[in-house]
Amino acid sequence: MTDPLAHVRELFDLADDVVYLDGNSLGAPPRAVAERLDDVVRRQWGRRLIRSWSEGWWEAPQRVGDRIGRLVGAAPGQVVVGDSTSVNLFKALVGAVRGTDRSEIVVDAGTFPTDGYIAGSAAELTGLSLRPADPDDLRLDERTAVVLLNHVDYRTGRLLDMAGLTERAHEVGAKVVWDLCHSVGVLPIELDALGVDLAVGCTYKFLNGGPGSPAFLYVPSAAQPGFRQPLTGWTGHREPFAMAAEYTPDAGIGRARAGTPDILSMLALDAALDVWDGVELADVRAKGLALTARFMELVRDLPGIEVITPADGRRGHQVSLRHPEAARLMAELIAGGVIGDHRPPDVLRFGFAPLYNTFDEAERAAKALEELL
């Protein structure tokens, strides 16, 4: 089939003898990142020294945030980059429930563990109860302050209905926080259009920002004046260099900042985002669905394999398989140059990044698994 993204693969530093299908854990490096970081270290830091803070470093969290905003359907001034997903999730949850007279936080029962841990801490510190619930049976009511949901399930690859679940939360007066870690860079997301209250996401998976690259936080413009996040660090101050004794939050998305930006990883992410210039998310989504469909077709009837990723369009860009010897199989696949990952006890995951993965790679991976079985 015609691949409108075939040319983008050349922008990545990938070995031809490796089939890399773990972009849902760590994206592959764009070629431009190393050169850009060399400039950051040698010139911006090495020659310009502290002057670089006033030559683009200070504004980087919002500037890079706006670049991600384009990928999640957010108008400029609503996304800020910095800190980790866990830290941003804590900001979002506590900010969502501060001042509420409601009594519970609801969290997706199958959520990625850190989301559950952070939600538990937020509930404990704010005096609310925490209730895990199946997204298909949330049972929300006037007690619910906020709902935390994963857009794509990290284990199965299932895609949740953002529009429908956001509306369901709003019907009972609750807010919703979406974790976009496994959907940003995968499919078109329309945070503004759907009236999402808050969202967080990481950048080292399908955005290819590099290991430990900073996460992002979305706060819509209308909600920013009332957003009181708990980590009131100096960079979120309205006048950070005034060094005032009292904290006054920035008027805009800057109030979601906390500590000094991690410039090296921030600017590596900035360089990595260049691969998205000129890319249409509709093309990314179409290719991702086709890649995963082809792979599922090839592995579905292999002995001992159970495909647990939805076969219809309700999936991200990963395929999860269940097999009793998943750990051994994945170790042998990796040794043979097909890199996916294993989730205990029995799940093999294969993440397809449409910017650089090909249909030939999907077939090579399926063939390698068939030979092992």
Q: Which residues are annotated as a binding site for pyridoxal 5'-phosphate?
A: 85-86, 112-115, 179, 182, 204, 234, 260
Count of CB atoms situated within 10 Å of the CB of 301: 9
User: Which residue of the set 20, 154, 204, 218 is catalytic?
Assistant: 204
Count of CB atoms situated within 10 Å of the CB of 46: 11
Q: Are 228 and 111 in contact (CB under 8 A)?
A: no
**CA separation, residue 101 to residues 149, 173, 284, 357 (Å):** 22, 12, 42, 48
Burial class of residue 17 in the structure, from the number of CB atoms within 10 Å of its CB (0-12 exposed, 13-18 middle, 19+ buried): exposed
Q: Are 23 and 352 in contact (CB under 8 A)?
A: yes
Q: Could you give the CA distance from residue 42 to residue 53 in angstroms, rounded to a whole number? A: 15
Q: Could you confirm whether 136 is annotated as catalytic?
A: no
Q: What share of the chain is helix, strand, coil (3-state, %, to 5)?
A: 40, 15, 45
Nearest CA-CA partner of 142 in 116, 103, 197, 99: 103
**CA separation, residue 252 to residues 57, 176, 223, 228 (Å):** 18, 20, 10, 12
User: Which residue of the set 349, 350, 352, 356 is catalytic?
Assistant: 349
Q: Are 323 and 342 in contact (CB under 8 A)?
A: no
User: Which residue of the set 67, 158, 205, 257 is catalytic?
Assistant: 205
User: Which residue of the set 3, 31, 48, 112 is catalytic?
Assistant: 112
Annotated binding site: 85-86, 112-115, 179, 182, 204, 234, 260
Question: What are the residues whose beta carbons fall under 8 Å from the beta carbon of 54, sequence distance 6 or more?
Answer: none
Q: Could you confirm whether 39 is annotated as catalytic?
A: no
User: Which residue of the set 179, 197, 270, 341 is catalytic?
Assistant: 179
Q: Could you confirm whether 205 is annotated as catalytic?
A: yes
φ, ψ at 306 (rounded to 5°): -120, 120
Q: Are 329 and 299 in contact (CB under 8 A)?
A: no
In order, the DSSP letters of 208-219 are ---TT---EEE-
Residue type, 183: S
Query: DSSP secondary-structure letter at 88?
Result: H
Q: Could you confirm whether 70 is annotated as catalytic?
A: no
Q: Could you confirm whether 179 is annotated as catalytic?
A: yes
Q: Could you give the CA distance from residue 262 to residue 303 in angstroms, rounded to a whole number? A: 47
| Positions marked catalytic | 112, 179, 204-205, 349
